[in-house]
Amino acid sequence: MNDAFIYGYAVEGENFTDRKAETKRLKANFEHGVNTLLISNRRIGKTSLVRHVGRLVNPKKALVVYLDIFDCRSEYDFYNKLATAVLQQTSSKIDSILQNAKNFLSRVSPKISMGPDPTSEFSLSLGITPKEYAPEQILELAERIAKKQKKRIVVCIDEFQQIGEFPDSISVQKRLRGAWQLQQNVSYCLLGSKKHLLTNIFQNKSMPFYQFGDAIYLGVISTENWVPFICDKFKKHGLRIDKEQASRICGEVENYSSYVQQLAWLVMLHTEREVTSEIIDTAMNELIAQNAALFMQQTEGLSSYQMNMLRAIAAGIHNGFLSQEVLETYRLGTKSNIPRIKKALIDRDIVEQRETGLYISDPIFNKWFRRF
């Protein structure tokens, strides 16, 4: 049953569901050279969407390059990762990759490492440093390869919010924007998992990437689209689940894609023939328990005031934190404390600001915290 429900990494094929409108829009952007800014909460499925669209794009129209920069801590960490991904994913043969490296990055000595399995992918190491290359030379690499191959290239950069954590981040962003906005054969899809940081990078008028491209705000997949997907998966494995139960699975996790798949999988594991309410209860308890250690880690180091604000939010208080009643009931201190507490919780990606107030970002964290 390992193909029943997939979570924890990007899904593809029959495990990918819905997103028809977003797929159509993103595919058009990729094929027509429109830069894209993809913003969403964690566990919504943005990486799966980008990888899915990348596989749909006709390689004769565009080559899609994907890289995740979560582990990049500096500007040149990023340049090494970018150059490696562009070289490796715009050619299928090692000889061609090495030739492109020689043609466009002649002062580096690429190192190729093969895995123990002959069929496994190889890894490429460039060791680019400021002594060998100025940033602009690396940022122009994709454009030069695109011109040589006479094909459009789309560079998809996941966890793009890491750029904001680099030393002298604004200068780095200015360099990237300055180089990329002049390119005629390369477009960019920038996405990440920290909504508040990305929103600041993309929507703040004073930031270099303001209005860089088509901003897509990715919401959750509707229950209406999840239910037939869930029911069909159970049916294929000889199990019964009714629409109301499938709908409850979605509601329990607020339709967050990764959690829907994880909870549905846990329900399936406990089902011998037919799903019951008790099985969903058991699976829900397991889901919370599986994430408890992570959530405990997230709350470590929070001040008493920050924990108290979380308790208020979990209890259904989403605004009005400056009222005397809320301040006293939840022991939030003085009114001057509130902006600092909110900022600290938002910066740690534990809560988020929505139109109707402040909410805990992760629906399972919310359930765990209410029990905690």
Model pLDDT for residues 325-356, shown as the tens digit of each residue: 999 999 999 999 999 999 999 999 999 999 99
Classify the phi-psi angles of 57: left when phi > 0, otherwise alpha if psi is within -120 to 50, otherwise beta: beta
12 within 8 A of 42, measured Cβ to Cβ: no
The span from the CA of 68 to the CA of 155, in Å, is 11
pLDDT for 104: 83
Task: Check whether 18 has a pLDDT greater than 90.
Answer: no
* Stated pTM of the model: 0.90
Predicted confidence band of residue 313 (pLDDT cuts 50, 70, 90): very high
From residue 289, give the alpha-carbon distance in Å to each of 282, 310, 372: 11, 19, 11
Secondary structure (H, E, C), the chain: CCCCCCCCCCCCHHHCCCCHHHHHHHHHHHHHCCCEEEECCCCCCHHHHHHHHHHHCCCCCEEEEEEECCCCCCHHHHHHHHHHHHHHHCCCCHHHHHHHHHHHCCCCCCEEECCCCCCCCCEEECCCCCCCCCHHHHHCHHHHHHHHHCCEEEEEEECHHHHHHCCCHHHHHHHHHHHHCCCCCEEEEEECCCHHHHHHHHHCCCCCCCCCCEEEECCCCCHHHHHHHHHHHHHHCCCECCHHHHHHHHHHCCCCHHHHHHHHHHHHHHCCCECCHHHHHHHHHHHHHHHHHHHHHHHCCCCHHHHHHHHHHHCCCCCCCCCHHHHHHCCCCCCCHHHHHHHHHHHCCCEEEECCEEEECCHHHHHHHHHC
Pull the structure tokens for residue 365: 């964290």
Model pLDDT for residues 254-272, shown as the tens digit of each residue: 999 999 999 999 999 999 9
Task: Check whether 233 has a pLDDT greater than 90.
Answer: yes
- Residue written as tokens 């890289």? 67
- Mean pLDDT over 103-130 rounds to 69
Model pLDDT for residues 272-293, shown as the tens digit of each residue: 999 999 999 999 999 999 999 9
Phi and psi at residue 216, to the nearest 5°: -115, 120
Task: Check whether 67 has a pLDDT greater than 60.
Answer: yes
- Mean pLDDT (the chain, rounded): 92
Task: Check whether 101 has a pLDDT greater than 90.
Answer: no
Give me the half-sphere count of Cα atoms (radius 13 Å) on the Cβ side of residue 345: 26
The span from the CA of 178 to the CA of 180, in Å, is 6
pLDDT for 113: 67
The span from the CA of 129 to the CA of 107, in Å, is 10
Percentage of the chain surpassing pLDDT 70?
95
Could you give the domains of the chain? Answer: 19-217 (3.40.50.300), 223-297 (1.10.8), 301-371 (1.10.10.10)
17 within 8 A of 48, measured Cβ to Cβ: no
pLDDT for 122: 64
**CB contact set of 334 (below 8 Å; sequence gap of 6+):** 327
- Mean pLDDT over 102-116 rounds to 72
- Closest by alpha carbon to 316, among 285, 368, 353, 357? 357
pLDDT for 117: 55
Model pLDDT for residues 28-60, shown as the tens digit of each residue: 999 999 999 999 888 899 999 999 999 999 998
Give me the half-sphere count of Cα atoms (radius 13 Å) on the Cβ side of residue 152: 19
**CB contact set of 348 (below 8 Å; sequence gap of 6+):** 298, 302
Task: Check whether 1 has a pLDDT greater than 90.
Answer: no
